[in-house]
Amino acid sequence: MTLTRRSLLAGATLAAVGPGLKISLAADASAPGDILIVLFQRGACDWLQMLAPAGDTYYRAARPTIRVPTTGGNAGLGVGTLGGTDLYLSASAPELKTLYDAGSLAFVHAVGIPTTDRSHFVCQDMMEKGNADAGVKQTSGWLTRHIASAATAIPGLPTVSSGANNPASLLGDPSALAISDASNFNVSGGTTNANIIRAINNGASKYRKVAGETLDTIASVQAGLKTITDNSADAGYTGGALSNSLRSLGKLIKMNVGLNVATVDFGSWDMHNGLVGEFATRTTEFSRALAAFWKDMAAYQNRITLVTMTEFGRRFTENASQGTDHGSASGMLVLSGNVKGGKIYGTWPGLAPKQLVSGDLAVTTDYRQVLGEILVKRHGEKKFNAIFPTIAYNPLGLMNG
């Protein structure tokens, strides 16, 4: 086996580490370079509940027990119109409406993969590799191709996934590092074991060099945690899974470790049964965590672009268990200091029977158009076709830059 810091730390709180140099820490919110955060709503979030055409006659008929109402105590929050259809944000996401009204957040509706597949595994794999049904299939992650196209070595920790493992979007990137909690970033066994590893690897061999670089990286992050001003306790994080991930990521951003790309997962959106209560619980955490993160990142907002994605949407018609099954089009949101927010983007396809595709909301915006615009306008991507070779660059106009 080829020795890498990745193999050295297998089973540790750090899942993967890229090429190692000691990190130069300097907490500076004005440092150059945008930070792209990709948040994957795994399980296929129902965006006809998240951002619902609540007044539409066809919608009301298709979802008699689970639909988002327009009146009453649990009424949806009106946010705008797309294609002449009024859309209502879930009542469980008032914090997102506040961000939207402030111009920091934009929605894209009827977006997704041009595919007829309904498999979680297949569609997640397609989306994370930048594929669709048509065209040559890519085998590396779309983020990996973007990082490679820049051909610029960024010192420190340029690529981080906030979880136990790196997602497929980072497949093939040797610099990608998985940190589930920055505060506990260490080898298995903690500082005691780290000191032992360093003591027995004091030398010039390749093995000892890898061990030393790994421990230097860990020590630098631990030192950085002591230097930052951490006001995250006042931001409104809930203590839920997404809040914890974003809070940890925020600490790395404040440390100015050279972060360029980050990924976050927030799953359990596959709601085939009893959707209403489960969706409200999940959406509450989703909304509060994003709002808390944005408050926590007040000094860094002009450098951050956070985009969400989910493998597909849900069936237009509710099932017999008051849930929804696997469908087609879904939605995305973009939270950024450089988004043209307070607006819903995309093309509304309509919900009349003849406008549906196999009974589902039609995909009218390819998800790669949204990702591509962010890469080009905020990350200086000059080789769009190297990232998404089977589609043309076609921005929606949602980003400044």
- pLDDT value of position 29: 61
Classify burial at 174, counting beta carbons within 10 Å of its beta carbon; exposed 0-12, middle 13-18, buried 19 or more.
middle
Contact at 8 Å (CB) between 67 and 125?
no
- Based on its alpha-carbon atoms, the radius of gyration of the chain, rounded to whole angstroms, reads 22
Dist. CA 360–CA 355, nearest whole Å: 9
Q: Which two tokens stand for residue 99?
A: 């961000």
Contact at 8 Å (CB) between 175 and 158?
yes
| pLDDT, block means (10 residues), the chain with 401 residues | 42 39 50 87 98 98 98 96 98 98 98 96 97 88 93 74 93 87 77 75 72 72 78 93 96 90 98 98 98 97 98 98 98 98 98 97 98 96 94 97 88
Q: Which two tokens stand for residue 4?
A: 């890498």
* Residue 398 is assigned to a structural domain of this protein: no
> What is the DSSP secondary-structure string of 17-52?
--S---------TT-SS-EEEEEE-TTT--HHHHEE
> What is the DSSP secondary-structure string of 319-342?
-TTSS--B-S-EEEEEEETTB--S
* Residue 343 is assigned to a structural domain of this protein: yes
Contact at 8 Å (CB) between 52 and 330?
no
How many structural domains compose the chain?
1
Which CATH number do you get for residue 21? 3.40.720
Contact at 8 Å (CB) between 167 and 40?
yes
DSSP H helices, 166-304, are 190-200, 206-227, 241-255, 275-296
- pLDDT value of position 245: 97
Tokens 């619980």 correspond to what residue?
281
Dist. CA 99–CA 343, nearest whole Å: 11
* Residue 120 is assigned to a structural domain of this protein: yes
- pLDDT value of position 155: 65
- pLDDT value of position 223: 75
* Residue 396 is assigned to a structural domain of this protein: no
Contact at 8 Å (CB) between 334 and 306?
yes
Q: Which amino acid is at 78?
A: G
Q: Which two tokens stand for residue 271?
A: 């709601």
CA atoms within 13 A on the CB side of 385: 1
Dist. CA 46–CA 52, nearest whole Å: 9
Altogether, the residues listed in the chain come to a count of 401
* Residue 102 is assigned to a structural domain of this protein: yes
Task: Name the residue range of residue 270's domain.
Answer: 5-387
* Residue 149 is assigned to a structural domain of this protein: yes
* Residue 399 is assigned to a structural domain of this protein: no
Contact at 8 Å (CB) between 363 and 101?
no
* Residue 382 is assigned to a structural domain of this protein: yes
